[in-house]
């Protein structure tokens, strides 16, 4: 019997399909379709009512046209009409059309729902199934609203036919997935669980999908399903291959149901009931045992079904992660699959082993397969399998095999598919860093990485190697030597030039003793690459050159020559031109000392999470880096980084902060370094150099007679300590300075960086742990003292601090931001209290926060005539404050002598507070003979005059 | 990728992954059947189809039947001139999906008697009905071959005998093209 005769043939449809297939061209096909569409349209619009058969035929033709990829914009109504036909085949076609073509078109949905409703209540199981299929296929919210209450009743009703139950279960699942809020739990839920015990295997197969989904969202309500699932699984696993009749598939009993049962169990932790657990372990062992038995059939279907269950069982074993014996057995089984002739099995074994590698129980067992996996990486013909092998190598890597794995991955990179190179590069970089015991190996690896796959080496990777070289002084010489050699290659990747420029600029002096890498040779080598590089790299090279001038004075003239050339100093790129001009000027104006300070070696980078790891996480999504891996990172991360550990829960944001600016800027990089390096930004380089020449030098000399003597740990209480005796002196250092070291003793260094605009200020405090031991319970607080609070009910300053991390690792530095708003003028500085435990002993010290009223001073320009006029206006005695004092720093006689007219200095400005602006005028009259000054302040507010006078008198 | 820690189980439906869609297409890239279990726009469906057909057709015979595509896994198998291609989620079981495909082919084969591509072209609605009996909402509903076919045959019995058997027209076309369409039983990858 010809197959087509099955069901009801529609002759017109067959003819139409043949016509379409006979079309010789796309145009002919479209023509034929348009003809048919016109025909159908006229039939639907015609006066003569169509009989059910014609309607069905035309709707079916429309469906065919739609499935060919053409748009259909009519016929929906006719399809809906077919739903109410009581002829099954017409109804069936109507439902099919709707399932395929209807997207929640609200107008129609109401009519469709009506048809569905009638069929659901028809008590005709075939009609009910059609209606349920339609709901499951469309699954729109409107349908959920209409039927989410009805379907559970159908599902658990005693008299519902099995086939209807099956459809109802999956239909409800679909509605629950689209609109969980509309499917209400209720009395039916407990009865659904018991469908696991149903006689009919088909009902169990369908119901278990629903139960799994529901118990995932409501684990407690459904937890009885665990024991039911275990006993069902146990019965299936122990059944003979013929027991289950038609549910046995190629000699495997109920493979679909078994997989679903094992999947359901993965929603729960291991069963607490010992008997249930014992039974389950038995099942899992049986499944593992069966994998060793000779196959009952040579058909691939047999082995696929059997192994599908096996892999699902292994997934459950990994999910429990508590049965070492089963984990190791699973691993051995997968190990056999690694060499199976079926590509599919090799692929799945590699994939599954990846997760086994992260379990402490099976990590070692996975490692034994390293040779096989490496071989797979080399020989598999399918890239997706090779990708799995690379993933597994990454997952199984630890200190013992890191060198081998990294070497293999590197050599694979040379031929790796483009699609996976970037990820491979990140992985190699991470492994090399994580397991580096000797840093020369690390440097070699990363430089190899750049050589082999330079295009795929992202910024994070080469930033990271520089951070590590800077932080590890034992590797700097080697890094300089290696990168110098690497740059010898006639064609080297631009990333290599970047790393080379940076490292030679910092550490070129370490290899300069060798005549083969003398300063000039180094410079010429770098400069030979200059013209082939992009602008950011050239900018970086220019910075390297100025660093060379500092490192090797003998290169100065050569480099100045280069900087002076038109191609630099008149470069059309603003950044390059500016650098050339500034560096040229800097090198010719600044003294050697200034140059040495400005171009000092990079300070160590604060240790944070590896930016590469963050990148890989971002690339692979949050789940990609397993939690164990992150813990590993914490555990192992320390050693590369000079004893500093990675921040405990450093976030991607934190690592971004440590990622240098993308302008690949040597000086820009500094901004993430400690403040004591006085980072001049590239743009304002000269200004900073001359206005704050050597700010670090005097600041570094802060008294070192630490608080240990003044506040020995034994007497320290939890209350904030009183301000330290020297705190006033420290404060005065900052009256005219915004950056520098506020405080330093044997344990702690506190750096300050601040900026003010009008009545607002922002201060960055950098707490540096000078020891190699971590500070715990580190906390800081800012309080106001006496006068600040005594201003009746109003504060003079609004100070907001952000809390700091309670742990400061040895050698690390934490930053705190303080926002300050000046509400009204004030005299006393707020107090900064710092508490932490060092080796168990509480340390408690209080300093004055270097905020003084003059910080909110804004200069005003005024001609002398105006000045004296205003001066006279502020003539009331309380508006003036005057001090006569001896010059403490000596007077610059040259200045005074040369210009007699400048016998006094005046200035004018406005103190900006939120409440008011206070105009201030100042007069400083030196008396050179007596080495005395007279400082007079006049302002509209007496307190301001007095405070400013006190503050400024200390400065001369 | 398969194991997923228990702490994530409350967050989404990741533990109950399901089939996202199934596509049947010919070696020439002609789509023969499409079944979508997730709501997508027509435009998106066409884009996915185009991309996947291209990707799968480009693969060599001995390659693995699974591939990662976007954030899904594709499981595919070729039967004679037709590719059966399913998209499943990350945690889903690849091998059992492969056997879902095979069971569907068996069902078609049994129903049509040595199914070939033309059967599916001329009786596409039947192919959909059989699929709905077997898979619903992306999950296996009834895995027994007997039960599925029984349901379909019962439905066929419900039809009226209002129309004659199709003429030789379809038959001619079938003979014409049978040569390049071998049957499901000689499935290639075995």
Residue A764 known to bind ligand = no
Dihedral sign of CA atoms A355, A358, A364, A369 in order: positive
Distance from the Cα of A263 to chain B's closest Cα (Å) equals 7
Q: Which helix (H) or strand (E) holds A777?
A: strand A775-783
**B159 closest CB neighbour out of A7, A96, A178:** A7
Q: How far is CA A823 from the centre of its chain?
A: 39
In chain A, the percentage of residues whose pLDDT exceeds 90 is 35
Distance from CA of B4 to the nearest CA of A (A): 7
**Separation between Cα atoms, residue A276 and residue A227, nearest integer Å:** 6
CA A147, CA A171: separation in Å to the nearest integer? 10
Q: Inter-chain contact A216–B16, Cβ cutoff 8 Å?
A: yes
Q: Could you tell me which residue, A18 or A706, shows the higher pLDDT?
A: A18
Asked if A365 and A332 touch (Cβ cutoff 8 Å), the reply is yes
CB A174 within 8 A of CB A159: no
User: Which chain B residue shows the shortest CA-CA distance from A1?
Assistant: B113
Any idea what DSSP says for residue B57?
H
**Lowest-confidence range among A27-36, A185-194, A271-280, A807-816?**
A807-816
Task: Name the token pair of A921.
Answer: 């005028």
A11 is in an annotated binding site: yes
Average pLDDT score over residue span A573-590:
90
In chain B, what residues touch A348 (CB-CB under 8 Å)?
A: 66, 94-95
A640 near A436, Cβ under 8 Å? yes
Q: Which residues of B touch A1 (CB under 8 A)?
A: 113
> Apex CA A723: angle with CA A722 and CA A726, to 5°?
140
**CA–CA separation, B172 and B52 (whole Å):** 32
Report whether pLDDT(A665) > 60: no
User: Which structure tokens are listed for A364?
Assistant: 């070692």
Q: Is A797 helix (H, G, I), strand (E, B) or coil?
A: strand
Q: Which helix (H) or strand (E) holds A692?
A: none
Q: Say if A15 is an interface residue toward chain B (CB within 8 Å).
A: yes
Cα(A285)–Cα(A279) distance, integer angstroms: 10
Query: Please, is A803 exposed, middle or buried when counting C-beta atoms within 10 Å of its C-beta (0-12, 13-18, 19+)?
Result: exposed
Give the contacts of A809 (CB within 8 A, at least 6 positions apart): A607, A643, A644, A645, A769, A774
Average pLDDT across chain A, whole number:
80
SS3 category, A847: strand
User: What residue has token string 């050597």?
Assistant: A694
3-state secondary structure of A923: strand
**Contact (Cβ atoms closer than 8 angstroms) between residue A814 and residue A804:** yes
State how far the Cα of B183 lies from the Cα of B130, in Å rounded to an integer. Answer: 18
- Of the candidates B43, B33, B35, the one whose C-alpha atom is nearest the C-alpha of residue B18 is B35
Give the pLDDT score at B160.
45
Tokens of A930: 């007596």
Nearest-neighbour CA in chain A from B37: distance (Å): 7
What pLDDT was estimated at residue A901?
44
Closest CA to A541 of A553, A529, A550, A556: A529
Residue B103's closest chain A neighbor by CA?
A249
Chain B residues closer than 8 Å to A64 by CB: 124
* Structure confidence at residue A892 as a pLDDT band (50, 70, 90): low
A634 carries a ligand binding annotation:
no
Contact across the interface for B165 and A9, Cβ inside 8 Å: yes
Low-confidence residues of chain B, pLDDT below 70?
A: 1-17, 159-190
Check: complex ipTM more than 0.95: no
Question: Mean pLDDT lowest for which of A737-751, A829-843, A881-895?
Answer: A881-895
- What are residue A693's phi and psi, to 5 degrees? -45, 120
Sign, CA torsion A15/A21/A23/A27: positive
Question: Model confidence at A597, in pLDDT bands (50, 70, 90)?
Answer: confident
A455-479 average pLDDT score: 87
Contacts of A463-467 with CB under 8 Å at 24 or more apart are: A463/A611, A463/A659, A463/A660, A464/A429, A464/A433, A464/A610, A464/A611, A464/A612, A465/A499, A466/A499, A466/A502, A466/A503, A466/A669, A467/A605, A467/A658
Report the residue of A13, A102, A170 to disrupt the B interface, i.e. the one with the largest count of B CBs within 10 Å: A170
When pLDDT is cut at 50, 70 and 90, the band that residue A912 belongs to is confident
Does the pLDDT of residue A242 top 90, yes or no? no
Percent pLDDT > 70 in chain A is 84
Of A66-80, A157-171, A679-693, A802-816, the range with the lowest mean pLDDT is A679-693
Contact B143 A627 (CB under 8 A): no
Overall average pLDDT of the A226-236 stretch: 95
Q: State how far the Cα of A504 lies from the Cα of A590, in Å rounded to an integer.
A: 22
Least confident residue range of A330-334, A620-624, A729-733: A620-624
Which tokens in the block code for residue A779? Answer: 């906390």
Buried b (16+ CB within 10 A) or exposed e, A667-682: bbbbebbbbbbbbbeb
Any idea what DSSP says for residue A808? B
Surface-to-core class of residue A692, CB atoms within 10 Å of its CB (0-12 exposed, 13-18 middle, 19+ buried) = middle
Average pLDDT over residues A833-841: 81
Neighbours of A697 (CB within 10 A): 12
Are the CB atoms for B32 and B49 separated by under 8 Å? no
* Beta-carbon contacts of residue A609 (< 8 Å; ≥ 6 apart): A633, A637, A646, A647, A650, A651, A652, A654, A655
Nearest to A176 by CA among A192, A163, A162, A160: A192
Q: Work out the number of other CB atoms within 10 angstroms of the CB of residue A539.
A: 25
Cβ atoms of A506 and A470 within 8 Å: the answer is yes
Is the pLDDT at A598 greater than 60? The verdict is: yes
Determine, for residues A247 and B16 on separate chains, whether the beta-carbon distance falls below 8 Å. no
Give the pLDDT of residue A836: 85
> Residue range A175-189: average pLDDT?
88
Q: What is the 3-state secondary structure (H, E, C) of A247-263?
A: HEECCEECHHHHHHHHH
Please tell me whether residue A148 adopts helix, strand or coil conformation: coil
CA A310 – CA A420 distance, rounded (Å): 30
How far apart are the two ends of chain B, measured CA to CA in Å? 27
A147 contacts A135 by C-beta, under 8 angstroms: yes
* pLDDT interval class at A716 (50, 70, 90): very low
Nearest to B100 by CA among B111, B110, B87, B113: B87
As a whole number of angstroms, the distance between CA A742 and CA A266 comes to 57
- Of the candidate ranges A573-587, A615-629, A752-766, the one whose mean pLDDT is the lowest: A615-629
* Euclidean distance between CA atoms A424 and A432, whole angstroms: 12
Report which of residues A282 and A626 the model is more confident about. Answer: A282
* pLDDT of A618: 67
Q: Which of A697, A701, A753 is nearest to A726 (CA)?
A: A701
8 A C-beta contact, residue A605 and residue A470: yes
For testing contact with chain A, the best of B114, B136, B160 (most A CBs within 10 A)? B136
Average pLDDT, chain B: 79
């Amino acid at each position: 019997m010809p197959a087509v005769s099955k069901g009801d043939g529609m002759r017109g449809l067959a003819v139409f399909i043949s016509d379409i297939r006979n079309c010789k061209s796309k145009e002919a096909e479209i023509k034929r379709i348009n003809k048919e569409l016109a025909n159908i349209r006229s039939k639907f619009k015609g006066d003569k009512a169509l009989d059910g058969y014609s309607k069905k035929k035309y709707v079916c033709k429309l469906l065919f046209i739609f499935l060919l990829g053409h748009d259909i914009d009519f016929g929906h109504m006719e399809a809906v009409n077919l739903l109410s036909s009581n002829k099954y085949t017409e109804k069936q076609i109507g439902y099919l059309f709707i399932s395929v073509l209807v997207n929640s078109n609200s107008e129609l949905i109401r009519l469709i729902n009506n048809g569905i409703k009638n069929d659901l209540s028809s008590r005709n199981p075939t009609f009910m199934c059609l209606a349920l299929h339609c709901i499951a296929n469309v699954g729109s919210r409107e349908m959920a609203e209409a039927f989410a209450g009805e379907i559970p009743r159908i599902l658990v009703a005693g008299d519902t036919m099995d086939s209807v139950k099956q459809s109802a279960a999956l239909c409800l699942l679909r509605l629950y997935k689209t609109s969980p809020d509309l499917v209400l739990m209720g009395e039916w839920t407990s009865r659904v669980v018991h469908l696991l015990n149903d006689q009919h295997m088909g009902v169990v197969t369908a119901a278990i999908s629903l139960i799994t989904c529901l118990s995932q969202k409501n684990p407690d309500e459904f937890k009885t399903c665990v024991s039911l699932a275990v006993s069902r699984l146990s019965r299936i696993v122990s059944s003979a291959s013929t027991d289950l009749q038609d549910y046995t598939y190629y000699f495997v009993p109920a493979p679909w149901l078994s997989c679903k049962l094992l999947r359901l169990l993965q929603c729960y932790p291991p069963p607490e009931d010992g008997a249930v657990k014992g039974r389950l372990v038995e099942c899992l062992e049986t499944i593992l045992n069966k994998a060793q038995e000779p196959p009952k059939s040579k058909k691939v279907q047999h082995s696929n079904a059997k192994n599908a269950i096996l892999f699902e069982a292994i997934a459950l074993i990994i999910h429990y992660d508590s049965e070492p014996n089963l984990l190791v057995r699973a691993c051995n089984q997968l190990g056999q699959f690694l060499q199976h002739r079926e590509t599919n099995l090799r692929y799945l074994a590699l994939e599954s082993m990846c997760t086994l590698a992260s379990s402490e129980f099976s990590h070692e067992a996975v490692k034994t397969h390293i040779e096989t996996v490496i071989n797979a990486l080399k020989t598999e013909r399918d890239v997706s399998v090779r990708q799995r092998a690379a993933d597994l190598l990454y997952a199984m890597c630890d200190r013992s095999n890191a060198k081998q794995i990294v070497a293999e991955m590197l050599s694979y990179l040379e031929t790796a598919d483009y699609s996976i190179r970037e990820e491979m590069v990140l992985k190699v970089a991470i492994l090399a860093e994580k397991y580096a015991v000797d840093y020369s190996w690390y440097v070699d690896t990363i430089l190899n990485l750049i050589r082999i796959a330079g295009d795929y080496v992202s910024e994070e990777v080469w930033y990271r190697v520089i951070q590590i070289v800077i932080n590890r002084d034992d590797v700097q010489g080697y890094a300089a030597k290696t990168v110098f050699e690497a740059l010898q290659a006639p064609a080297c990747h631009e990333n290599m030039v970047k790393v080379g420029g940076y490292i030679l600029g910092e550490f070129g002096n370490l290899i300069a003793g060798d005549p083969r890498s003398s300063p000039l040779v180094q410079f010429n080598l770098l400069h030979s690459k200059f013209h082939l590089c992009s602008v950011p790299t050239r900018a970086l090279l220019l910075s390297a050159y100025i660093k060379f001038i500092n490192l090797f004075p003998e290169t100065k003239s050569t480099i100045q020559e280069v900087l002076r050339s038109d191609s630099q100093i008149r470069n059309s790129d603003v950044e390059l031109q500016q650098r050339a001009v500034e560096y040229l000027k800097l090198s010719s104006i600044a003294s050697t000392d200034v140059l040495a300070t400005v171009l000092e070696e990079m300070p160590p980078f604060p240790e944070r999470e590896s930016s590469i790891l963050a990148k890989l996480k971002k690339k692979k999504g949050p789940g990609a880096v397993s939690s164990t891996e992150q813990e590993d990172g914490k555990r192992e991360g320390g050693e590369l980084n000079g004893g500093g550990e990675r921040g405990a829960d450093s976030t991607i944001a934190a690592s971004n902060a440590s990622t240098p600016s993308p302008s690949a800027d040597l000086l820009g990089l500094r901004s993430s370094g400690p403040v004591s390096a006085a980072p001049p930004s590239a743009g304002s380089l000269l200004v900073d150099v001359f206005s704050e020449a050597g700010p670090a030098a005097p600041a570094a000399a802060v008294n070192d007679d630490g608080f240990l003597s003044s506040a020995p740990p034994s007497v320290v209480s939890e209350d904030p300590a009183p301000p330290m005796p020297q705190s006033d002196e420290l404060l005065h250092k900052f009256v005219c300075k915004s950056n520098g070291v506020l405080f330093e003793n044997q344990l702690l260094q506190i750096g300050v960086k601040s900026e003010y605009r009008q009545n607002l200020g922002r201060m960055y405090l950098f707490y540096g742990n000078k020891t190699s031991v971590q500070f715990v319970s580190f906390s800081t607080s800012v309080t106001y003292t006496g006068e600040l609070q005594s201003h009746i009910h109003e504060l003079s300053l609004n100070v907001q601090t952000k809390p700091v991390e309670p742990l400061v690792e040895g050698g690390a530095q934490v930053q705190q931001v303080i926002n300050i708003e000046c509400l009204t003028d004030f005299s006393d500085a707020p107090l900064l209290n710092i508490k932490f435990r060092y080796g168990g002993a509480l340390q408690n010290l209080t300093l004055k926060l270097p905020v003084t009223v003059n910080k909110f001073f804004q200069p005003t320009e005024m001609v002398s005539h105006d000045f004296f006029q205003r001066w006279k206006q502020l003539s009331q005695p309380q508006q003036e404050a005057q001090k006569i004092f001896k010059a403490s720093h000596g007077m610059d006689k040259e200045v005074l002598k040369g210009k007699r007219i400048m016998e006094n200095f005046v200035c004018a400005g406005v103190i900006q507070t939120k409440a008011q602006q206070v105009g201030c005028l100042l007069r400083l009259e030196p008396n050179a003979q007596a080495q005395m000054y007279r400082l007079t302040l006049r302002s509209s507010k007496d307190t301001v005059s007095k405070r400013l006078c006190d503050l400024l008198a200390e400065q001369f | 990728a398969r194991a997923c820690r228990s702490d994530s189980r409350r967050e989404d439906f990741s533990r109950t992954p399901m089939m996202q869609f199934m596509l049947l297409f010919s070696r020439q890239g002609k789509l023969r059947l499409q079944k979508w279990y997730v709501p997508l726009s027509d435009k998106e469906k066409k884009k996915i189809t185009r991309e996947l057909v291209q990707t799968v057709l480009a693969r060599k015979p001995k390659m693995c039947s699974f591939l990662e595509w976007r954030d899904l896994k594709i499981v595919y198998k070729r039967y004679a001139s037709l590719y059966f291609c399913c998209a499943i989620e990350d945690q889903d079981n690849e091998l059992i999906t492969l056997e879902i495909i095979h069971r569907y082919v068996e069902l078609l084969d049994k129903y049509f008697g040595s199914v070939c591509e033309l059967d599916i072209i001329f009786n596409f609605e039947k192919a959909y009905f059989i699929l709905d009996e077997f898979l619903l909402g992306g999950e296996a509903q009834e895995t027994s071959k007997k039960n599925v076919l029984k349901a379909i045959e019962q439905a066929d019995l419900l039809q009226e005998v209002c129309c004659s058997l199709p003429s030789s027209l379809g038959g001619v076309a079938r003979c014409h093209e049978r040569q390049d369409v071998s049957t499901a039983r000689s499935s290639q990858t075995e």
